Amino acid sequence: MARASLGAGLDGILVVAKPAGPTSHDVVALVRRLAATKRVGHGGTLDPFASGVLPVFLGHATRVVEYHLGDRKAYRATVCFGASSTTDDLEGELTPAIGPAPTREAVEAALPGLTGPISQRPPAYSAVKVAGRRAYAMARAGETVLLAERAVTIHTLDLVSWDDTDPDRPIVVVDVTCSAGTYVRALARDVGERLGSAAYLGALTRTGSGPFALEAALSLDAIRAAAADGASGLVPLLRPIDDGLDTLPVVTLTADEVAAVARGQFVRPSGGLPGPADHYRVRDEAGSLVAIASATAGRLAPDKVFVAPTPTQSPTSAPAAPVA
**Cβ count near 297 (within 10 Å):** 8
Among candidate residues 11, 26, 47, 175, the one labeled active-site is 47
Region 249-267: mean pLDDT is 94
Is 26 annotated as catalytic?
Answer: no
Say if CB 9 and CB 209 are below 8 A apart: no
Q: Which tens digits make up the pLDDT trace of 46-77?
A: 999 999 999 999 999 999 999 998 899 999 99
Of the ranges 48-62, 131-145, 268-282, 304-318, which one carries the lowest mean pLDDT score? 304-318
* Residue 93 pLDDT class (50, 70, 90 cuts): very high
Per DSSP, 10 falls in state: S
* Residue 297 pLDDT class (50, 70, 90 cuts): confident
Q: Which tens digits make up the pLDDT trace of 220-235?
A: 999 999 999 999 999 9
User: Does pLDDT of 88 surpass 90?
Assistant: yes
- CA–CA gap between residue 134 and residue 139 (Å, rounded): 9
- What lies within 8 Å, CB to CB, of 214 at 6+ separation is 17, 52, 53, 205, 206, 207, 208
User: Does pLDDT of 209 surpass 90?
Assistant: yes
178 three-class SS: strand
Q: Which tens digits make up the pLDDT trace of 30-53?
A: 999 999 988 999 988 899 999 999
Size of the chain, expressed as the number of residues it contains:
324
- pTM for this entry: 0.87
DSSP track, 40-69:
EEESS---TT-EEEEEEEEGGGGGGGGGGT
- CA–CA gap between residue 67 and residue 43 (Å, rounded): 10
**Cβ count near 5 (within 10 Å):** 24
